[in-house]
Structure 1
Amino acid sequence: MATYEIKAFGTESADADLKKMNIQRREATPKDVEIEILYCGVCHSDLHTARNDWGGTIYPTVPGHEIVGKVTKVGDEVTHFKVGDLAAVGCMVDSCRTCDSCKQDLEQYCLNGFTGTYNGKDKHLDSQTFGGYAEKIVVDEHFVLRVPENLDLAAVAPLLCAGITTWSPLKHWNVGENSKVAVIGLGGLGHMAIKLAKGLGAEVTLFSRTPGKTEQAKELGADQVVISTDEGQMETVAGKFDLIIDTVPYIHDVNPCVYAKY
């Protein structure tokens, strides 16, 4: 398959800094969309992959799976995009499309293994996939999302990971105007969870270990903040919530938040 060279930022080993490098992208196939990357978020997964914290990193690696840009080329069979459209790509760029999971639009559970945006296997080139820390990316249109023209593109990028991570449970559990949602933690995911739950009309509570984030949480839309280390406060909300979203990125005891008992 024909390829072309582009500039990217990646690393050649677990202990090397990211640096400029050249990588190969495939020419667009009939179903592909070529995107000029305008913004790419930085996810902790990118850092773990670069450092091989999870094992299995294929070097050189180019991270980045919160990609937003402009369509510069489309294949002959592409039907949902045209040159000039704003588009986005998340953590997947392919799957088998034939297994039971894929047929149910659950490509993340592809029984034959989905293809990650980076550190996956590009079936077209028989090499690893390279992510969004690059000038361009070429992706099958099935895994490309349309971006409305009126959005701040820099702010859209995190929606491709932190956004969908919190949106998915909210939609799965049918959160709406009569829902009561609690969010544990106010990091990147916690920010998204509060804003999205509030946008759906829910009453939103933040569980935080300290009161230092109270003002910020309320600015984001939280109706109240409960200090999870305060037994008295926790008992006042026992059994109140329809859904609790835990966004804390390390192992911790969730029992106080679930049962309000110490």
Structure 2
Amino acid sequence: MIPTKGYAAQDATSDLAPWSFERREVGPHDVQFDILYCGVCHSDLHQIRNDWFPGIFPMVPGHEIVGRVIKVGGHVKKFKVGDLAGTGCMVDSCRTCANCKDGLEQYCANGAVLTYNSLEKYTDGSPTYGGYSNTIVVNEDFVLHISDKLDLAATAPLLCAGITTYSPLRHWKVGKGHKLAVLGLGGLGHMAVKFGVAFGADVTVLSTSAKKEGDAKKLGAHHFVVTSDAGQVEKVKESFDFILDTVSAPHDFGFYLSLLKTNGTHICVGAPLEPAKISPFAIIGGRKSVAGSAIGGIPETQEMLDFCAEHNIVSDIELIDIKNISEAYERMEKGDVRYRFVIDIATL
């Protein structure tokens, strides 16, 4: 076993604190890489608090992981020692269902194995531990190649925030000739703006905060609408082909559906704790759709990373010391981050 240092929550009521544990030895098809940076996702906080479902404790969060390979198994063909590498939200899947065979491992019919707060159901049944740690061992099929052209710390959030917004935009073929509204300008929303602009769409940011207009324009957004301003809202009613909804707080879906054109699609990637309430009349009148999307499969995630390397796209980040993670969580809940915290694992 491999001695590992990390930060863990011992239960749903405790703060993250230093914790030593063990990783499995590197098997024939495994890659071990030392973690250099790990992004901080809002879902990390949800999971250590049992907001969504009962967690597996002790819990080491983190699924936006980048680092450098230090060891590979004897049958590994895709990586060598010294390569930059990354792992996102999954570390395994059944490999045999129709979704896995289509490169949609995130929708594995038998259940993907998450990077943390999950069980290694296809191997030994042990708990998985995430990237708030100094090293990790992952099957090579769930390790991504990271380009040395990009800032490594700012690349980490691409493994969740990046692919969560890239995947639906690609699936619905959003691009030139489309009017895209990005709802919410946070960790997910700022990546949605960057990708939407890169794909050629006309991008509008919808926000409750007028203070974010400057940031939205700097990120490349063509327009900005303060959703509490009735005059601004009236001008964009029935105008968007797509709304990419990144908001994780309860909000009025009917209000935003009124901004879609006929045949428009409202795509949910945020995860509010309360169920959405949608009147049938909000979608019947304009043959509108409400859809959802979760991260992306391994092939698409690699495609995204390659696209980002080609177009010099990374996240806007604030690098933090791991000892300040509780403060970072508090600021994240207040929206006080532009736009993703990333832990410098050297501070561990």
TM score, norm. by length of structure 1? 0.94
Q: Is the 8 A contact 1:180 1:242 kept in 2?
A: yes
Provide the rounded CA distance (Å) in 1 between the counterparts of 2:52 and 2:257.
29
Structure 1 residue 191 corresponds to structure 2 residue 190: yes
Give, in whole Å, the separation in 2 of the partners of 1:14 and 1:28.
31
Please give the alpha-carbon distance, in whole angstroms, between the structure 2 residues aligned to 1:180 and 1:202. 6
Q: Corresponding residue for 2:207?
A: 208
Structure 1, unpaired ranges of 5+: none
My pick for the range that moved more, 84-93 or 120-129, is 120-129
Question: Is 1:158 aligned to 2:164, yes or no?
Answer: no
Question: TM-score, normalising length from structure 2?
Answer: 0.72
- Quote the Cα distance in structure 1 between the aligned partners of 2:107 and 2:96: 12
* Conserved 8 A contact 2:240-2:259: no
Shift of 1:137: 0.5
Question: Aligned runs of 1:15-34 on 2, under 5 Å?
Answer: 15-34=13-32
Q: Aligned partner of 2:200: which letter?
A: G
Letter in 2 for 1:57: G
Bigger mean CA offset, 205-214 vs 143-152: 205-214
The question of 1:9 aligning with 2:21 is answered no
Runs of 4+ off more than 4 Å: none
RMSD value, Cα: 1.6
**1:260 to 1:104, Cα distance in 2 relative to 1, 3 A:** closer
1:228 is matched with: 227
Matches of 1:78 and 1:100 in 2, distance apart? 25
Task: Look up the SS of the partner of 1:127 in the other structure.
Answer: coil
The 1-side partners of 2:57 and 2:51 are apart by 13
Distance 2:193 2:3 in 1: 41
Deviation at 1:252, TM superposition (A): 0.7
Q: Which moved more, 1:173-182 or 1:96-105?
A: 173-182
* Counterpart code for 1:128: P
Kindly provide the CA deviation profile for residues 120-158 of structure 1, in whole angstroms up to 9, marking residues without a partner as x: 112434310111111110111111111100111110111
Query: 8 Å contact 1:4–1:25 — kept in the other structure?
Result: yes
**Unaligned stretches of 5+ residues in structure 2:** 261-281, 283-348
Code of the aligned partner of 2:107:
Y
The SS at the match of 2:240 is coil
Question: Which residue in 2 is equivalent to 1:62?
Answer: 60
State the distance in 2 between where 1:80 and 1:158 align. 22
Flag the structure with more relative contact order, 1 or 2, with Cα contacts below 8 A and sequence separation at least 6.
Answer: 2
Q: Is the 8 A contact 1:234 1:257 kept in 2?
A: no
Deviations 1:140-187 (A, max 9, x none): 111111110011111011111111111111101112232221111111
Question: What displacement does 1:68 show?
Answer: 0.5
